[in-house]
Amino acid sequence: MVRAGEGLNLGKLRDCHEVYKEVLHDRLGVDDATDRLNEIFNKEPHFNNWWMVFVSGLGTASVAPFAFNAGYLDLPICYVLGCIVGYLQVVSYRNEGVLNMFEVLATIITSFLSRAFASIGHGRYFCFSALVQSSICLILPGWIVLRASLELQSKSMVSGSVRMVWAIIYSLLLGFGITIGTVLYGAIDKNAVSTTTCSADREIGAHIQLVFALIFSFSLCVLNQAKWRQMPVMIIIALIGRLVSVGLGTKFKGNGQISATIAALAIGLAANLHSRFGTKIENKALDVWEAYLRPHVRAFHKRIRGKSTALRDRRTKKMMESMESGELHDSESIFVPHIRRVGYGLAAAAMLPAILVQVPSGLAVNGSLLSGVQAADQIAGKGQNGSTVTDAATLQSGGSVNSVAFNVGYSVVQIAIGITVGIFASTLIVYPFGKRRSGLFSL
């Protein structure tokens, strides 16, 4: 059986969209476009696997303060746990056995280690909830559920339903792994910490949290293989979404779906406006640079450096060789103008990191990832207040163990649906009469 791995490469996505636009505007033939696409598909990843491991740790450490109220002492542990998950993800690409068990294995290891570290000093040094939630935030199925929701709302029932079912099963595996990991450490240490919230005195200030949100956005860009020139716009859009989410968080406490919907609306508006006008602004900036600014800059450089003999000889030799080969005439310059882009940009690539920033925060509001701790205490025979669970009635009163994994899946779907509604509403505002010849929601 031949299997093709599923992933997201924002850099190649942009390159493919550029080829599509050039073919659409008769700048490129079909044969040449096919060759270009083959080159793009065969191109090596922009960042190698070791980058992925270390950036996974950076993303885990940066998401913990603003999404899960982690303190400064928690950050090194979050980084180590994130690197473990990143390493398992790299190994899973080469080992089919690890690939089949990746979700469960990663959550078992991280939840076990998170509870072990949090139990040092009985919770005085590290926050268990921040450690366990941030360590798996990079493998949450937010992208899968978002794509499924877009397809379902676009009336693509078959593909959307298949993706949604897979996302729910994936979420069940995450919830199951959290429960197993916390139960295993609870069986070893009878005094294991079971707190599901972090103390307010260790919380990092709001302005510093905003910096961590920017770092997390950068980590998502790197993990999704975005190009360096794409990152500034992606980070700015993610910052807009985060500011809206923080502003609404105080008004809609405990309801992440409303905040996610309005934040997605702001993100979609920014991304679609950049898609519609970004290409025109970029082309106009190139016109101004080449026609007005570049000659003055070159003249200034000549005055600063002077006309050294070696530099003049190199330029003269290069020009003479070009003239002899017929590539350059006497009246022409060596300078080659930049090729202007055509059509609109790709809004989907610009907004994806910003959308993925919203998923961990929404899950933290619902607290679904930590429902496994309650089940772990029930299995170990301890209630939330230290009382012993002795019968089935008491077990069911604190929440059924069987519903733990479903809470994670339901919360992910709930947040993704809110994000989907916001994206569709933003597109309707920017393109009220529709957009022809565009795969606007073909993610």
Count Cβ atoms below 10 Å from residue 212 Cβ, excluding itself.
Answer: 20
- Residue 400 clears pLDDT 80, i.e. is over it: no
Convert 217-252 to b/e letters by CB count within 10 Å (16 or more is b).
bbbbbbbbbbeeebbebbbebbbbbbebbbebbeeb
pLDDT at residue 398, as a whole number: 43
Identify the weakest region by mean pLDDT among 44-48, 97-101, 160-164, 375-379. 375-379
Cα–Cα distance measured from residue 58 to residue 62, given in angstroms and rounded to the nearest whole number: 6
> What's the pTM?
0.80
217 pLDDT band (50/70/90 cuts)? very high
Mean pLDDT score, 266-294 = 80
390 pLDDT band (50/70/90 cuts)? very low
pLDDT at residue 246, as a whole number: 82
Per-residue pLDDT tens for 284-302?
A: 777 787 777 878 777 777 7
- Residue 3 clears pLDDT 70, i.e. is over it: no
Identify the weakest region by mean pLDDT among 36-40, 93-97, 339-343. 339-343
Identify the weakest region by mean pLDDT among 68-82, 346-360, 373-387. 373-387
Q: 22 or 403, which is more confident?
A: 22
61 pLDDT band (50/70/90 cuts)? very high
pLDDT at residue 336, as a whole number: 66
Mean pLDDT score, 99-128 = 88
pLDDT at residue 4, as a whole number: 52
pLDDT at residue 371, as a whole number: 60
Mean pLDDT score, 321-325 = 55
399 pLDDT band (50/70/90 cuts)? very low
Domain limits, the chain: 10-42, 49-278+343-430, 279-324
Q: 279 or 43, which is more confident?
A: 43
What are 405's two structure tokens?
């994994």
